[in-house]
Amino acid sequence: MPAPHRVVIAVFPGVDLLDVTGPAEVFALASRELPGTPYEVLLAGPDGGQVRTSAGVRVGVDLTFDQVGDRVDTLVVPGALGPDGAPVIDPELVGWIVGTARHARRVASVCVGAHLLAAAGLLAGRTATTHWATADRLAADHPDVTVDPDPIYVRSGNVWTGAGISACMDLALALVAEDQGERVALAVARQLVMYLKRPGGQSQFSVPLWQAPTERRDIDELRAWIIANPAADLSAAALAERLCLSERHFARIFRQETGGTPAAFVEAARVEEARRLLECTDDPLGRVAAACGLGSAETLHRAFRRRLGTTPAAYRRRFRTAA
C-alpha cells in the first residue's frame, strides 16, 4: 500500500483557527471516503507542545518545524493578523517556509498566509489571492505578484492561494479533487453541508446547490444524483419516474421541499458543472455544453447570461485556472 499523502499545516502563535482546522477536516473526511488512509495530516509548529490560536483555542503540535524533514506532499500555510490588523510576518517562519517548500509537491496558503508565501518569494511572477481586506497591502508590498482579490482561490502551477476565512474549505476541496477526483470532493462537500464544488471564480457567482437536508430523503438523494449526473436525462418526466411519482405530484413535492422548481435546480447544477469545466479545461464550448447536459453552445450561452450575467467565453478568460 502506498504511503499516505502527507499534509503539513504550519501553526504558530496567533494563527487563525479556522485556517488550520478547516483544511484538516476536509482532508480527514476525504480519508473516510476512501480505502486505507490516503491523507496524513500533521500540524507543525516552532516548538513542541501547544500553540494558542487567534481564537484563544490551543492546538497540539505533531512535529516541530525542525522535525518535518523533506517528506511533504502538501504544505499548507495559514495566516495571522497582528493587533494593528497587519499580516504577521515572522522571519524565522518565512525561512522555514522557504526551505520546506523546496521539497513539497505543492504549497497552499490560506487567507493572509499569502503574505507569508510572498515574503518567502514563492509568489513572484504568479497570480495570487488573499483576504480582500489585505489584497491592496499584498500588492503594494510585493509588486512582483499579480494580486486578484476576487477569486476564492487561485492556482498557479504547484502554488495555490486561498481567500479569506471559510474559503479555506473550498481551497482544500479543490486540492482533494485534484488528488482523488471530483466525486470524492463532492462527497466531502456533502458531509460538510457546503456549496457544491465552489470553483475558484468570484464567490458571488456561486450557486448553493447542496442545500440543507429536506424532510424527504428521496428528494435529497435525487438532488445529489442530479449534481453527479448533469448530462443525464433530467427532464421532469424522467426525474418523476425515478421517484415513482406522477410528474405533477413530483413537481409539487420538489417545490414544497426545496422552494424551487426541478428545472431551476437542474439548470443550476448544469451551469455549476459548466463553470468547473471552463475553469479547469480548454474544451471547446460545444463540448462543455454537451458534458454538462446543456446540449449546445447557444443554450450554454443563454444559461450563463441568465444565471451569471456573463458569457461562457468571458467567464473562461477571467477564471481559467493556470495549471
Question: How far is Cα 204 from Cα 207, in angstroms, rounded to an integer?
Answer: 8
Closest CA to 184 of 2, 3, 1, 5: 5
Q: How confident is the model at residue 198 (pLDDT cuts 50, 70, 90)?
A: low
Known catalytic residue at 111: yes
Task: With cut-offs at 50, 70 and 90, classify the pLDDT of residue 121.
Answer: very high
Is residue 195 over pLDDT 70? no
- For 154-179, what is each residue's pLDDT tens digit? 999 999 999 877 788 889 999 998 99
- E strands, 11-150, in order: 39-45, 50-52, 58-60, 63-64, 74-77, 106-109, 127-128, 146-147
Question: Residue 83: exposed, middle, or buried by beta-carbon count in 10 A (0-12, 13-18, 19+)?
Answer: exposed
pLDDT of res. 202:
46
Which residues is 284 bridged to in the sheet?
Answer: none
Catalytic residue selected from 111, 168, 280, 292: 111
pTM of the model: 0.68
pLDDT single digits (tens) 34-82: 888 799 999 999 998 999 999 999 999 999 999 999 999 999 999 999 9
Burial class (CB in 10 A: 0-12, 13-18, 19+), 28: middle
Q: What is the pLDDT of residues 82-117, one digit of tens each?
A: 999 899 999 999 999 999 999 999 999 999 999 999
Which domains, and CATH codes, for the chain? Answer: 5-191 (3.40.50.880), 208-323 (1.10.10.60)
DSSP 130-147: --GGGHHHHHHH-TTSEE
**Does 263 have pLDDT greater than 60?**
yes
Nearest to 164 by CA among 89, 122, 114: 114
